[in-house]
């Protein structure tokens, strides 16, 4: 197999007396979806925060395109092409679609001798991004606050923002949580589209149906340690759950 686009090698991190991650190694290739699974407290959020520059590991190294990745904050990660979409989406509810796509990176133009935000350009980009992702939002809503949009439309805007800024690795934290079935299906379609465009996706989800529908590999953490990695074609949901909870699951099944 070709060189991974992103690789984590032997990463450990401690918070006081708690070792949140213990020599964890994982990788993801361009155009691949890797599902990151684990029970609450397994270390999933800690791992993605290391990849996205929120935390610095105590040991180990992250590599990007085969080179050591030196990032000190999320801005560094985004500059490299690593984007993270958290459950809260980090959208500004009172702003329109274009303003959210450019949030913090607004283009400016000169008018009457002054630098002003180029809102027509932002609106045009917003429409182009939505067209690229095959997302239909009425024009009156594109120019209104995103709080008026559905959960699926808001998720699409967060994905569109990452794609516009040339994300090469997209980390998605529970992207279908609190969405209805049709909206869940649309988000899954977007992930498949990202794969076709060569974007590497790390998917965190408790929804096994979502995981098996779009993922290529499943990587499991338990109590801060890597306990299993399987190709989707080689495993079923029952085996994934067993890796996530270990002996406790086996004991429960035996009693049942």
Q: How confident is the model at residue 1 (pLDDT cuts 50, 70, 90)?
A: low
Please state the rounded mean pLDDT for residues 3-21: 95
Beta-strand pair 169-173/82-85: parallel
Total domains in the fold of the chain: 1
Q: Is residue 123 part of a domain?
A: no
For residue 232, the domain's CATH number is 3.40.50.300
Share of the chain above pLDDT 90, in %: 57
Q: 113: how many CB neighbours lie within 10 A of its CB?
A: 5
Question: Would you say 68 and 61 are in contact if contact means Cβ atoms under 8 Å apart?
Answer: yes
Please state the rounded mean pLDDT for residues 95-107: 90
Q: What pLDDT is attached to residue 151?
A: 84
- The pLDDT tens digits for 117-152 are 999 999 999 888 888 877 788 878 888 999 998 888
Q: Is residue 163 part of a domain?
A: yes
Q: Is 164 helix (H, G, I), strand (E, B) or coil?
A: helix
Say whether pLDDT at 22 is over 70.
yes
Residue 184 structural domain:
15-91+158-255
Q: What pLDDT is attached to residue 248?
A: 56
Q: Is residue 108 part of a domain?
A: no
Q: Is residue 143 part of a domain?
A: no
Phi then psi for residue 237, to 5 deg, are -60, -40
Question: Cβ contacts of residue 169 below 8 Å, gap of 6+?
Answer: 5, 6, 28, 51, 64, 81, 82, 83, 199, 200, 201, 202
- The pLDDT tens digits for 42-91 are 999 999 999 999 999 999 999 999 999 888 888 899 889 999 988 776 78
Q: Is residue 53 part of a domain?
A: yes
Please state the rounded mean pLDDT for residues 28-44: 95
Per residue in 142-178, is it b (16+ CB within 10 Å) or e — as a string? beebbeebebbbbbbbbbbbbbbeebbbbbbbbbbee
Q: Is residue 31 part of a domain?
A: yes
Please state the rounded mean pLDDT for residues 211-220: 96
Q: Is residue 59 part of a domain?
A: yes
Q: 31: how many CB neighbours lie within 10 A of its CB?
A: 15
Q: Is residue 10 part of a domain?
A: no
The predicted model scores a pTM of 0.86
Q: If you average pLDDT over every residue of the chain, what do you get?
A: 89
């Amino acid at each position: 197999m070709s060189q991974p686009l992103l690789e984590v090698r032997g990463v450990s991190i401690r918070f006081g007396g708690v070792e949140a991650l213990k020599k964890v190694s994982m990788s993801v290739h361009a155009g691949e979806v890797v599902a990151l699974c684990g029970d609450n407290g397994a270390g999933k959020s800690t791992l993605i925060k290391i990849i996205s520059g929120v935390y610095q590991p105590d040991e180990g190294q992250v590599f990007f395109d085969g080179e050591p990745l030196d990032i000190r904050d999320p801005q560094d990660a985004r500059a490299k092409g690593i984007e993270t979409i958290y459950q809260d989406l980090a959208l500004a509810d009172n702003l329109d679609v274009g303003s959210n796509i450019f949030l913090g990176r607004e283009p400016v133009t000169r008018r009457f001798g002054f630098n002003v935000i180029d809102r027509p350009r932002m609106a045009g980009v917003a429409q182009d991004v939505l067209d690229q992702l095959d997302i239909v939002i009425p024009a009156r809503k594109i120019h209104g606050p995103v709080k008026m949009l559905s959960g699926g439309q808001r998720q699409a805007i967060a994905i569109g923002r990452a794609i516009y800024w040339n994300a090469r690795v997209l980390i998605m934290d529970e992207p279908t949580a609190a969405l209805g079935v049709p909206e869940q299906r649309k988000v899954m379609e977007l992930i498949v589209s990202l794969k076709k465009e060569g974007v590497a996706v790390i998917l965190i989800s408790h929804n096994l149906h979502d995981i098996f529908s779009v993922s290529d590999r499943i990587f499991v953490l338990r109590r801060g340690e890597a306990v299993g990695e399987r190709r989707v074609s080689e495993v079923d949901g029952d085996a994934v759950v067993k890796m996530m909870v270990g002996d406790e699951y086996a004991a429960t099944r035996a009693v049942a």
